[in-house]
Amino acid sequence: MISNITNTFIKAKKAFDTSQFTESKNLLNKVIDHDKDFLSAYLLLYEIYDKTNSKKKNIIYKELKRLDSDISIKHKPVVSAKKRVSKKSELVTLSLIKLMISQGKKTQAKKNLRLIISHSKNRNEKNKAQKLLDNF
């Protein structure tokens, strides 16, 4: 528990002025934990997250808007790159590949044979696929 919120905020401001951002963030979070409506603490915390380009800047901006809807900050949201989730391709069977070959879909058959060779866990299936690919 903080004995005096104002003194803690002043310490955070001094830490910020001397570029001790981690110390300043810790102190500001203590202030905010104690008083959710301390606008100056949110402003200083926003500045820190803006300098470090942290995603937490977006959260602090929402809090600032909650406290003062008319606040004039040029907020540029930090957008994180979405992780690409690779699809697990379903391996087709050798009999289906033979059907593709008989239908004239040779490029699709070659692609699926290469997939079987690189991803199949069955050694026998890999060997058969390699033989088929070699016969093209």
Class of CATH domain 5-67: mainly alpha
Percent of the chain residues topping a pLDDT of 70: 91
Please enumerate in sequence order all residues whose Cβ is within 8 A of that of 60, keeping only pairs 6 or more positions apart, or say none. Answer: 42, 45, 46, 49
Q: What are phi and psi of 93, to 5 degrees?
A: -85, 160
Sign, CA dihedral 28-30-33-38, equals negative
pLDDT confidence band for 121 (50 / 70 / 90): confident
Taking the CA atoms of residue 20, residue 21, residue 23 and residue 26 in that order, the dihedral angle to the nearest 10 degrees is 170
Output the six-digit token pair for 42: 């949110």
pLDDT at position 1: 47
pLDDT at position 16: 92
Q: What is the pLDDT of residues 26-42, one digit of tens each?
A: 999 999 999 999 999 99
Q: Give the CA distances from residue 40 to residues 44, 70, 95, 96, in Å, rounded to whole numbers and listed in that order.
A: 6, 15, 70, 68
What value does the mean pLDDT of the chain take? Answer: 86
Kindly list the domain boundaries of the chain, sorted by start residue. Answer: 5-67, 94-134
The arithmetic mean of pLDDT across residues 50-68, rounded, is 89
Name the residue among 25, 26, 32, 24 with its Cα closest to residue 5. Answer: 32
Counting every residue written for the chain, the total comes to 136
Percent of the chain residues topping a pLDDT of 90: 34
The answer on pLDDT for 48 being more than 90 is yes
